[in-house]
């Protein structure tokens, strides 16, 4: 039986319980945040993070991200299920997580999400939008075929956007990350296949809606960055940057109700 961590569930001022799965460094501290990343691990060892920064091993960019990580973040591998009781949450959210699962594993995660939601609770997901990526590729090809040589770079970026995370084998880091730190991560965590960084499947609105229906979600609809059935969504700043722009503009946002 999956270990239950109900005692670590947070609640907002309004009393709601909100769950963010695979949060990385993008989170809100009123939510219960789960992740299995380096940030989650170092969040419980800030002194080590400061030392790594001082030694030049951890880049300034990564260190600043680390400072924003919820100190109560739960380190958890979602391949073990979701470690909470049935109907424990009012909302479940995950961003750019589902595409990292095998196609056959995705329904299992969504079933778990539905299990931990109360009746009437909302799931919100962001995934790379296959249609957006294909449209970007088609646009670049059309420009090249009209003789626009300046579209060559756009064309290469579009191809990279479609395939890079499906085939990449080596971990990469943010700008300024030391070669030592990247090598250490590769040694400790393995390649992208072992760490779950690879994209295993892609979705558009229609395929994601069909998947959500399969596991029992209702009232499924596409949303915008700031549009949500989750009350007060805008203030959580999970799908946008501080300047108000979309955090991952190639995303499609879908919600459903239990």
Residues 6 or more apart from 245 whose CB is under 8 A from it? Answer: none
Provide the pLDDT for residue 205: 97
Residues 6 or more apart from 121 whose CB is under 8 A from it? Answer: 87, 89, 90, 91, 92, 257, 258
Which residue is listed with tokens 């790379």?
A: 128
Provide the pLDDT for residue 2: 55
Provide the pLDDT for residue 188: 53
d(CA 225, CA 239): 6
Provide the pLDDT for residue 42: 77
Q: Which domains does the chain have, with CATH numbers?
A: 1-36+76-128+203-258 (3.40.50.150)
The phi and psi torsions of 201 (rounded to 5 degrees) equal -160, 165
Provide the pLDDT for residue 1: 43
Helix, strand or coil for residue 254?
strand
Provide the pLDDT for residue 197: 77
Q: Which residues of the chain have pLDDT under 50?
A: 1, 175
Provide the pLDDT for residue 111: 98
- What distances in angstroms separate CA 157 from CA 134, 142, 250, one per listed residue? 12, 15, 13
d(CA 95, CA 74): 17
Provide the pLDDT for residue 46: 74
Q: What is the pTM of this model?
A: 0.87
Q: Which tens digit of pLDDT belongs to each residue from 54-91? A: 777 777 777 777 777 888 999 999 989 999 999 999 99
């Amino acid at each position: 039986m999956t270990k239950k961590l109900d005692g670590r569930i947070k609640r907002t001022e309004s009393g709601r319980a909100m769950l963010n799965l695979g949060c990385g460094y993008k989170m809100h501290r009123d939510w219960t945040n789960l992740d299995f990343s380096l940030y989650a691990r170092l969040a419980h060892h800030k002194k080590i993070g400061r030392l790594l920064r001082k030694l030049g091993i951890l880049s300034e960019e990564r260190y600043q991200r680390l400072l924003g990580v919820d100190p109560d973040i739960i380190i958890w591998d979602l391949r073990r299920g979701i470690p909470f009781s049935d109907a424990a949450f009012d909302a479940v959210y995950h961003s750019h997580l589902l595409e990292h699962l095998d196609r056959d594993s995705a329904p299992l995660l969504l079933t778990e999400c539905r299990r931990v939601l109360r009746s009437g609770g909302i799931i919100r997901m962001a995934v790379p939008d296959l249609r957006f990526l294909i449209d970007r590729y088609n646009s670049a090809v059309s420009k090249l075929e009209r003789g626009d040589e300046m579209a060559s770079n756009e064309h290469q970026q579009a191809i990279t956007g479609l395939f890079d995370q499906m085939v990449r084998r080596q971990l990469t880091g943010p700008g300024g990350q030391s070669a030592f730190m990247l090598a250490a991560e590769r040694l400790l965590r393995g390649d992208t296949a072992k760490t779950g960084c690879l994209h295993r499947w892609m979705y558009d609105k229609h395929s994601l809606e069909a998947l959500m229906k399969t596991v029992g979600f209702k009232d499924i609809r596409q949303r915008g960055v700031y549009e949500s059935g989750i009350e007060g969504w805008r203030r959580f700043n999970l799908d946008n940057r501080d300047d108000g722009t979309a955090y991952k503009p190639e995303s499609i946002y879908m919600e459903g109700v239990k």
